[in-house]
Amino acid sequence: MLTARQEIPALSTFGNETMQTPANKLRTLLTKPGLIIMPGCHDAISTKLIEQAGFDTAFMSGFAVSGSRLGLPDTGLISYAEMIDQGHNICNAVNIPVFGDGDTGFGNAMNVKRTVQGYAQAGFACIMIEDQVMPKRCGHTQGKRVVPREEALLRIQAAVNARNEGPDILIMARTDARATEGLEEAIARAQAFAEIGADISFLEAPETEEEMQRYCGAVAGPKMVNLIEYGKTPLLPLDRLEAMGYKIAVYPLTLLNTSIKAMTTALQQIKQGDTAEQILDFEALKAAVGFPQYYAEESRYNSD
């Protein structure tokens, strides 16, 4: 069964007040039965729309942030500081837990630790760290390379150590070794990541249903599948993914993809002198960005 939105009980306290951290919200989701469906976001408004649509969590995609913020491909061009800045805006816009794409950790093991700490401070519930060579690139594009297994394990060990030393954040360990070293090596890395203490594993870009099944059967703990339209991984029905053993299904580029298509179409229409067809009325647009909530809060301070 697929999970539905529910009120999540608080799991931690600060002083006399009960509080829900993003990480605790995510831990609760992971214990509930059913597949977690997670759309990808790239800015505050896309994340707000995900929350308003009733999803339990969102994923800040490095591909989508690089494309929307810089207008550049996901080839390691975006920096740690730019990702953190975008993450602050995204996490502050919503109350649902958000996953953050931490790429390779932006350097060596010490950089990985700083990256984990910074993502936790930005408000992320979980950070993804991968085993590609820097500069990294999108997992469904050409030219990928991965570091040796020993270095990959050190990255994840550093991330786990950073988590254990204080920041309240989960670790998702990703391997891209399927494309370069083969499926067996990718599974071996995912198994090792789980043994080290990663909370979630992610084997990127399996190319057949059989490969997906082998990964799920071989690796313990929660697992994520990456569903990119026209990508390398089969877009299987959600109930089949759940039956395989996946816990999370992410659609990292769907919102960026559809927004680019919609904007391109609208630009063509207004260039021809027409009115854009697929458009919200102004009241709906104001509601989407939060004017009603602002007006309600503003009225509390009206002296008239």
* Digit-coded pLDDT (tens) for 43-86: 999 999 999 999 999 999 999 999 999 999 988 899 999 999 99
Phi-psi region of 150 (alpha: psi -120 to 50; beta: other; left: phi over 0): alpha
* pTM (whole model) above 0.85: yes
CB count in 10 Å sphere of residue 264: 10
Whether 269 is in a domain gets the answer: no
Give the CATH number for residue 71: 3.20.20.60
Give all strands (DSSP E) within the chain, no chain letters.
Answer: 12-14, 17-19, 36-41, 58-60, 98-101, 126-130, 170-175, 200-203, 224-226, 248-251
User: Is residue 10's pLDDT more than 50?
Assistant: no
Q: Is residue 288 part of a domain?
A: no
pLDDT tens digits for range 125-149: 999 999 999 877 776 767 789 999 9
Domain assignment present for residue 6? The answer is no
Is residue 270 assigned to a domain? Answer: no
Structural domain for 73, as ranges: 12-262
Domain count across the chain? 1
Residue 280 lies in a domain: no
- Asked if the structure places residue 298 within a domain, the reply is no
Give the model's pLDDT for residue 214: 98
Q: Compute the mean pLDDT over every residue in the chain, rounded to the nearest whole number.
A: 91
